[in-house]
A and B are shown apart, each in its own frame.
Chain A
Amino acid sequence: MQQLTTTLLTGLTLGAVFSAFALALVMIWRSTRIVNFAQAPMAMVTTYVALVLIDAGASYWVGFVAALLSGFVLGAVIERVVVRHVEGKAELNAVILTLGLFIVLHAAAALVFGSRFRSFPAPFGVRGLTVGDSTIPLTGFGIFTLVSVLVVMGLLVALFRGTDIGLRMRAAAFGPEVARLLGVKVGRMLTLGWALASVVGSLSGLLIAGGGLVHPGYMDSVVVYGFVAAVLGGLESPGGAVVGGLSLGLTLSVVSGYVGSEVVPLAALLVLVVVLLVRPGGLFSTVHERRV
């Protein structure tokens, strides 16, 4: 029983991080039809921004906010300067470009921050909470992870559903030409979309790093899991990304707890293959309009 709760709670927190990362991928895919492989090193770079500040004596929270802000700026700059040139072009161009960015950011981070392992603090305890004389395997940092992912998602839903700017962003993503004719500055909306996605990616980077070790490649496995989660959710749907992330987190945690942690990457791959074979549009695929 104890092992089951541990497994499920670990899976849930891990899943929340995958959800955030998958959400970042989905936001960029929806607006620019680009799979952003550079999302992982982008989040890595912003985590280093936090780490540099914290090592210089700033509090965790200053580092946290600085990382999210630098994520916003990094996302906007990358879209504006680099990605703008491949938007609407052949899909392969964008794939090669984001893979190239992946390598460039890696190399740059190793040069600037060094490639050794550095420990990253957590704002809350990473030990299980004690209630009475039994220990619940939910850590303070685990709760913080779940809450921060939920808060960010709530804010995004409020932005996209409830505000004019969110409406403009969705219009720019779904119908760029029509949106322009209705007075929407489409280019600006796409930049904003990348910036916000990059903030969400940065959050997942901070949460993965919390209480652990950071090095230029520490996010690389997350891009795989985040991508599987996004495909699980259908790549189109933000809600799907969240559910996909949580289910993948739970699945992998169960596999890790009952089969062995060494087969976790294999299990993720298996999930991906099964989804692509059985429901290639993802768990929540809807019928798409066809034009003749």
Chain B
Amino acid sequence: MLDVRDLTTTYGAVRALDGVTFTAPQGRITAVLGANGAGKTTLLRTLSGLVPAASGSARLGDTDLLTTPAEEMTRAGLAHVPEGRGVIAQLTVEENLRLGALGARGGGRKADLDRVTDLFPVLGERRHQVAHTLSGGERQMLVIARALLADPAILLLDEPSLGLAPRIVTQIFDLLRGLVDDDGLTVVLVEQNARSALSISDVGLVLDLGKVVVHDDAAVLVDDATLRHAYLGF
């Protein structure tokens, strides 16, 4: 379980996160929603150690995330898929996947590579292709597969639907839901696309100017018309 308390991150005088408190329950998807500049990406970057926190705490089980360097996160069980499909474009699909397995808690196993190519058959077909030849959807699959190879307890996903066709988004979201239901993975899903994100999430969290303004069951957020109009734009 991810337990975040009073987390504050500043960029100079700007408080990008301002006392954020929430828990992401194990085996659930928590959607983090809000407008551009609300602090969603900063939240993930602070949790994974790419941006230092100003104050507060963030714990994953027994691990204090705020004192763990970014390069130790996969070994602590946290995988962060950054915004913009962070494939390493010059490496092949297989090399990207191997890289994910290298950071695994257990050291990476061959069987896992087979498991993700079962989940994403297209990656198996293209394993020797250089990653910059992949389509947007394939790249998103690659980064998710790569993150899964690290065998994470919690997966932080930043805007996986960005720029993808609705059909591909549905496919990726269904797959995520499957991983959570079958393997007990915990997911924190940052999304602009609130409607799709809430449709697969258990819990919704709305950020506005760095503060948590709503934190409730996803179903409650979907049903509350005022809330939807005010923050979610649908």
Shortest beta-carbon distance, A259 to chain B, in Å?
Answer: 40
Shortest beta-carbon distance, A174 to chain B, in Å?
Answer: 5
Residue A42 at the chain B interface, CB threshold 8 Å: no
Closest to A173 in B: B90
Closest to A288 in B: B132
With A171-B88, A185-B71 as known contacts, state yes or no: A179 contacts B48, CB within 8 Å: no
Contact, CB under 8 Å: B88 / A179: yes
Interchain CA distance A262-B74 in the complex, whole Å: 59
Q: Which residues of A sit under 8 angstroms from B91, Cβ to Cβ?
A: 167, 170-171, 174
Interchain CA distance A183-B90 in the complex, whole Å: 18
Q: CB within 8 Å of B: which of A148-172?
A: 164, 167-168, 170-171
Q: CB within 8 Å of B: which of A164-192?
A: 164, 167-168, 170-171, 174-175, 177-186
Q: Which residues of A sit under 8 angstroms from B79, Cβ to Cβ?
A: 181
Residue A289 at the chain B interface, CB threshold 8 Å: yes
Name the one of A164, A168, A171, A182 contacting B150, with C-beta atoms under 8 angstroms.
A182
Residue B216 at the chain A interface, CB threshold 8 Å: no
Contact, CB under 8 Å: B99 / A168: yes
Residue B98 at the chain A interface, CB threshold 8 Å: yes
Interchain CA distance A179-B132 in the complex, whole Å: 16
Q: Which residues of A sit under 8 angstroms from B75, Cβ to Cβ?
A: 183
Q: What is the size category of the interface that chain A forms with chain B?
A: 10 to 19
Contact, CB under 8 Å: A168 / B102: yes
With A167-B99, A170-B90, A175-B88 as known contacts, state yes or no: A182 contacts B72, CB within 8 Å: no
Contact, CB under 8 Å: B71 / A183: yes
Closest to B48 in A: A181
Known: A175-B88, A181-B71. 6 other contacts (CB 8 A): A167-B99, A170-B88, A182-B103, A183-B71, A183-B73, A184-B102
Q: Which residues of A sit under 8 angstroms from B153, Cβ to Cβ?
A: none
Contact string, B69-103, partner A, CB cutoff 8 A, digits 1/0?
01111110001101000111111000100111011
With A164-B102, A181-B80 as known contacts, state yes or no: A174 contacts B74, CB within 8 Å: no
- Per CB-CB distance, the 4 closest pairs between chain A and chain B, nearest first, are A183-B103, A183-B74, A178-B86, A175-B88
Shortest beta-carbon distance, B147 to chain A, in Å?
Answer: 8
Instruction: Count chain B CB atoms within 10 A of each CB in A179, A186, A289 and give the residue with the most.
Output: A179
Shortest beta-carbon distance, A96 to chain B, in Å?
Answer: 28
Contact, CB under 8 Å: A175 / B71: no
Q: List 18 A-B contacts (CB under 8 A).
A: A164-B98, A167-B99, A168-B99, A170-B91, A171-B88, A174-B89, A174-B91, A175-B86, A180-B50, A180-B70, A181-B48, A181-B50, A181-B70, A181-B71, A181-B74, A182-B100, A184-B102, A184-B103
Contact, CB under 8 Å: B71 / A180: yes
Name the one of B73, B98, B99, B150 contacting A179, with C-beta atoms under 8 angstroms.
B99
Q: Which residues of B sit under 8 angstroms from A164, Cβ to Cβ?
A: 98, 102
Shortest beta-carbon distance, A177 to chain B, in Å?
Answer: 7
Shortest beta-carbon distance, B95 to chain A, in Å?
Answer: 6
Contact, CB under 8 Å: B89 / A182: no
Shortest beta-carbon distance, B73 to chain A, in Å?
Answer: 7
Q: Which residues of A sit under 8 angstroms from B71, Cβ to Cβ?
A: 180-181, 183-186
Q: Which residues of B sit under 8 angstroms from A181, Cβ to Cβ?
A: 48, 50, 70-71, 73-74, 79-80, 82, 86
Q: Which residues of B sit under 8 angstroms from A175, Cβ to Cβ?
A: 86, 88-89
Shortest beta-carbon distance, B52 to chain A, in Å?
Answer: 14
Shortest beta-carbon distance, B148 to chain A, in Å?
Answer: 12
Instruction: Count chain A CB atoms within 10 A of each CB in B50, B75, B88 and give the residue with the most.
Output: B88
Contact, CB under 8 Å: B89 / A289: yes
Residue B146 at the chain A interface, CB threshold 8 Å: yes
Interchain CA distance A184-B99 in the complex, whole Å: 9
